[in-house]
Amino acid sequence: MANEIDLAAEVQDLRARLQEAEETLRAIRRGEVDALVVEGTRGEQIYTLRGADHSYRIFLEAMHEGAATLTAGGVILYCNRRFAEMVRTPLEEVIGFPLRRFVRPTDFLDLEAVLREGLGGTGRRELCFQTGAETMPVYVTTSALPLDDGGEPAICLVMTDLTEQKRSERLVADEKLARSIFEHATEAIVVCDTQEKVLRTSLTARRLCVCDPIGETFSRAFPLRREGPAGAPVIPFAEVFAGNVVQGIEAALTLEKEEEDCELQVSAGPLRGSDDEVIGCVLTLTDVTARRRAELEVDRARREAEAANQAKDHFLATLSHELRTPLTPVLAVVSGLQENGQVPENVRPQLAMIQRNVELEARLIDDMLDLTRIARGKLELRREVADLRQAVDHALQTARADLFDKGLRLSLDLAEDDYSVWADTPRLTQVFWNLFSNAVKFTPPGGAISVRAWRVEDGAGPQLVVEVEDTGIGIEQDVLSGIFDAFQQGELAITRRFGGLGLGLAISKAIVELHGGSLNATSAGRGRGAKFSVRLPVGDLSLSREMARIGPVQESPVPPPESEVSPLSILLVEDHVDTAEAMADLLREMGHRVTVAGSVAGGLDAAEGLAGRIDLVLSDLGLPDGTGLDLMAKLHGRYGVKGIALSGYGMEEDVRKSLEAGFDRHLTKPVNLQALQTAIQDAARG
């Protein structure tokens, strides 16, 4: 019971104090209070507020600025209504509270500084007041306010709202920025109203004007021309004023001072007001004259390069033809002599030497054409399930004569394994022939060449590796990085000493990489030999074999013995006299009946004279009065005769044209005797 009585007494006391505080605040507002007691670190302090100051307080209430009287510690003793409005707090919740309650925390140090300065004289600072999420920039002035009792002075504070001033400063800054952008923009910028009249232009834009642009219509100030229907507007202002952006308009403008056309790329977009309404249009005009000229120059250079490249290809093809043509009769005569049993045995080695060198010359010519195919991306592979061991063996057989002539030791280490790959067998044979030929060429007599092959498994799948290592002159480290570049053989002295064009390794690397493999070279340096490693992916041989089973790869059938081939009636059309004579003798030695012509007209006359009784046509493609393609098309159309093209042109395009004209085969000069016999036998059985 006693506790309830005590609690009721405390409540009554609190109510009395609250009523007293409310009456005190009302009295302060009315100017009826002469003093205010504030409890601080020094205990209770009394601040007098004389009734004589009532008129002064009326003056403060009428001020547009906020005014307040503070203790030295920053507690608000008095403030006018404007101050309470600026801090967005009711007046009764301002007086008696510290000023820092209404100041942004980041400005506390500035607040303490301005209060100290006010006690010593006058303080001035820009602060930012904050109530909740709202902030307001203000300018604060403080000064000391001495009290009559000689105690600690109060501080008089006047606060000015800087919101509008800051907004104006931002507007001025924005205007300066906009003006700076307009004056220094590298692109021409134009602002128009909804009547298409120019309101503002950048300095760059004024240089393009034909008159003073301000107030003029855009089309008058900037008479642009554009390809399109007559009367169509260059700039679709209606679309822009509808709120759309248009870009990439290409137009031209004649500059009167320069008397030349300026190429422009124009973009236009809507200019919107504060209510998001379209009030105009902003256009940018980019001078692309230099870029257009550069593009034209690049295009001209590209076309010239393409023309030069075509001329180079044509030159190489023509050079190949001209180089091959005189080799053909030499190879034909040598082949015939080798087949002639009356030739003495002591002459046959010389004949074999002549044949090897002729075929080597033809190989060099082929290398030039292969390099052209690679550069143009025209080198094609004819894949099949190939035996890598067989390709290595064929290449070794080709290089074996040179190998033994120099007395080189050959070591073979082909591990017992499956060497099947999905590859182009002739091209792989070409790769290994190049590697073996290089090893033989650069290894001195008495040296050694080793060939190793094995199968590896790694993250990329099963691969076959073939290494060709020699004990030859080696490769310097500064040369090694470019050893696979075309025409690269290292030092000039090496090229002069060993010969060759330096194309074999470049072609070999391209062929291996077309197969998805790699070709690398290593060497310990000069005189310490070299090692070349070929890595080839095995591929999905199960699928490859299934494809071969469904549609087997067409291979040339094994030729029957020569005695089983019936003599044929052959029309040989060749304008090179020596080649025609040598080829005719070779064909007659094979037992065939041969009629020779030297032109398209001669070939047609000979066919007519034989009454169409022709079994086979062998024709050169470059003839004095036309092409072998024209001749074959007519003979095939009239008599249904088969044909074999003989040409110094051996590019894929040449082969395709030959087959389209009706030829069954295309043999590139100089023609190998075995290849010619196989082609004739195929024709005889077909």
Neighbours of 509 (CB within 10 A): 23
What are the φ/ψ torsions at residue 94 (nearest 5 degrees)?
-105, -50
Non-local (6+) Cβ contacts of 206 within 8 A are: 213
Max CA distance (Å), the chain: 153
Instruction: Give the per-residue pLDDT at 329.
Output: 79
Please state the three-class secondary structure of 26-86 as a single string. HHHHHCCCCEEEEEECCEEEEEECCHHHHHHHHHHHCCCCEEEEECCCCEEEEECHHHHHH
- Residue 467 has what pLDDT? 92
Q: What is the pLDDT of residue 370?
A: 66
Cα separation, 387 vs 536, whole angstroms: 12
Burial of 383 (0-12, 13-18, 19+ CB in 10 A): middle
CA distances from 277 to 241, 242, 271 (A): 10, 10, 8
Looking at residue 543, its pLDDT comes to 45
For residues 114 and 551, give the distance between their C-alpha atoms in angstroms, rounded to a whole number.
98
* The pair of three-digit structure tokens given for residue 546, joined into one six-digit string: 């299934």
Q: Which run of H or of E encompasses 632?
A: helix 628-639
Helix count and strand count (H, E) for the chain: 21, 26
Which residues lie below 8 Å from residue 328, measured CB to CB, with a gap of 6+? 576, 579, 582, 583, 646, 669, 670, 671
pLDDT of residue 468: 92
Q: Are 135 and 129 in contact (CB under 8 A)?
A: yes
CA distance 210 to 401: 84
Question: Which spans in 192-247 are helix H?
Answer: 203-206, 218-221, 237-241
CB atoms within 10 A of CB 658: 25
Give the pLDDT score at 486: 66
Are the C-beta atoms of 196 and 217 separated by less than 8 Å? yes
Domains of the chain and any CATH numbers: 23-161 (3.30.450.20), 177-287 (3.30.450.20), 300-379+565-686 (3.40.50.2300), 382-550 (3.30.565.10)
Q: How confident is the chain (686 residues) per 10-residue block, as mean pLDDT?
A: 59 57 52 50 49 57 84 87 89 87 91 88 89 86 75 84 83 72 76 89 80 85 78 84 88 73 87 86 87 88 83 72 74 76 78 71 67 67 80 78 78 79 81 86 88 81 88 85 68 43 77 87 87 84 45 37 67 86 85 89 86 84 86 86 82 80 84 79 75
Q: Residue 114's closest CA among 101, 125, 130? A: 125
Note the pTM of the prediction, 2 decimals: 0.45
